[in-house]
A and B are shown apart, each in its own frame.
Chain A
């Protein structure tokens, strides 16, 4: 009522929105790139406020943007570390995709991965003194342990969601914390008296297999560690792409996600789909956990998943739940993260600067979706306003 009085009869609003029917592929990407560019400008501003080196003129803003590139690609070691981090992040975010596609908001990737790491390490811990078990069998058992524990952690919320519609967002979130304390608890059991950490495992390293396949003298030490992880991540994303797009299961997941009523109408048992998909999701987290346990850390602690369970949600959503685009988005997120970590070192910015940078860019990308889905019309300034203006 009040608005009408203020606006006056028949005045067209200043801004008018309408939904876009379709937008050319390149146009949408142009908007996204522009959003990232604007975001980078905002990051520069924030960095200027926080870094005294920038304010003093010891460093310039062009140094700032250059560091994003050098942070990830500056040296051979940095490049490989970047690729490895992308691969691990990609693995975890791939695990979330099937669940997200059916609108099951699994934010428990963190806990599922952590429990998988725990499962793999548990197998190796109890079997490491059994000399009669060959290394490859031990690795296989570790992988199995990771898969089973990841699947269990994902299955619990899925069962309750399927049976009673329990809110899965909060359920999976709480499972993360339970997983954290489970790890602390198991560490207390495992760590011998008088020591503070578990230490690395004696056996069960993925590199022992890698070394048999490739000649380790040709490569640097860390490359031998990273190659299997990167390869597995790429293979997984290709497999998941095929699974989601070309199989019956993938079709059922999309239908359940788009409309639960349609799914019921065409005879899809949605409870079965939810449970099956979450099992898959948990097992993919299991693979990620196995890679962390056997390929990288050789141990477990409460930070084994590094918050990738949450970052993975961003990667999956930004990649439109498409495993191939997610290769790109995981790369972008890690590029920002590595670059910002380098910046906080070089530019004397304390605290969690990478998180701030990632957050700002994410805001811009999320906001840019609006300009892809909607069109903004401004009021046309005509000379005769008033009566002929459309209501």
Chain B
């Protein structure tokens, strides 16, 4: 799978260079757009991997992403009203998204870790709650979208730094600071999980909390921290999708499906955060290909093929699920105690 990842990465690089050389702007735009879209999944599934490595299957990720987006937008609205500088607006927005989604994560971990509630049901309840509350919050926002996105000298500049100046390849302006943040977070999460003592302890908690407890690891603290930090990362995905990728305050309505895809992508990435980058790029391509192909002149398409192509990401996820389960390699399996509550006195 690692080879596959490197292969995909090289493929992207070569494709990008070819596009630049032969000036195929539509293809370039397609690849850039897919990558930019994929960053939503990078956030969502990196956060979910951290949570799952602590043994908690958080099905509340769609709700958390909605809440992250709504919280960030709310803060940005307030910041715009109070006339903060563009850079402050972006920073405050990211902080707002972090706080809102971490609060959701805290709620989830309080119910599942401390109160030992059923994780599936808690997660679904959190999704219902988060999606609903985010809609309520977003309907309270009154600032128009042009105010903070349309103007070129607005905070959009900071979301799109450092490619905000039109270069030779104008498509590159799609990449902004939050896109690079997504990749940095995924790489950092991979490093922490597999190269540090903290990561080792966290994985131990997810595999067998009783053993980890006996070894002197504070299981509750690890579970809380992993869930909250993971939720915070997932929530950033919601903000990125609304403010950077879609640039439309209406975008919050479509986050839920992306949240579910992020949960599925965890399996695609085999619980390795860096691999989410590859998986997200593939998902991004699958999602945008129906639009792209219908614009190609040499392919005849109609509405039926469009819907068939839109089915593709979900169908591919199912295929990957089946293939990984058939291969059944030990290192590609979920953490052993995923979904189970831990109570020290239980035998």
Residues of A within 8 A of B (CB): 1, 3, 17-19, 50, 105, 107, 160, 164-167, 169-171, 173-175, 177-178, 181-182, 184-185, 188-189, 310-311, 313-314, 317, 349-356, 358-360, 362-363, 366-367, 369-370, 373-374
Contact = CB atoms under 8 A, between A and B. Distances in A.
B260 to A, nearest CB: 6
B135 A310 contact: no
Contacts of B59: 169
Contacts of A370: 114-117
A175 B345 contact: no
B325 A355 contact: no
Nearest to A356: B132
A351 B121 contact: no
B307 A173 contact: no
Contact of A174 (B117, B131, B314): B314
Contact of B128 (A189, A350, A358, A367): A358
Given A164-B325, A173-B264, A367-B111, 4 more contacts: A166-B325, A352-B136, A356-B129, A370-B116
The listed residue with most A CB atoms (<10 A of its CB), out of B111, B136, B326, is: B136
B120 A359 contact: no
B136 A188 contact: no
B116 A363 contact: no
Interface string B112-129: 001111101110111111
B129 A171 contact: no
B294 to A, nearest CB: 14
A175 B326 CA distance: 19
B136 A353 contact: yes
Contact of A362 (B128, B216, B317, B345): B128
Contact of A310 (B57, B124, B130, B308): B124
Contacts of B125: 314, 359, 362-363, 366
9 contacts: A166-B321, A178-B318, A313-B120, A351-B139, A352-B132, A359-B126, A363-B126, A366-B122, A367-B115
Contacts of A175: 314, 318
B311 A362 contact: no
B66 to A, nearest CB: 10
Given A105-B120, A313-B121, A351-B138, A160 B322 contact: yes
Interface string B234-253: 00000000000000000000
Nearest to A160: B322
Interface string B308-347: 1011001101100110011010000010000000010110
Contacts of A373: 116
Given A170-B263, A170-B267, A170-B317, A360 B115 contact: no
B118 A173 contact: no
Contacts of A181: 307-308, 310-311, 314
B31 to A, nearest CB: 24
B133 interface: yes
Contacts of A317: 118, 121
A352 B264 CA distance: 26
A166 B216 CA distance: 34
Nearest to A188: B303
Nearest to B346: A19
Contacts of B115: 366-367, 369-370
Contact of A164 (B117, B126, B322, B334): B322
A137 B10 CA distance: 60
Contacts of B308: 181, 185
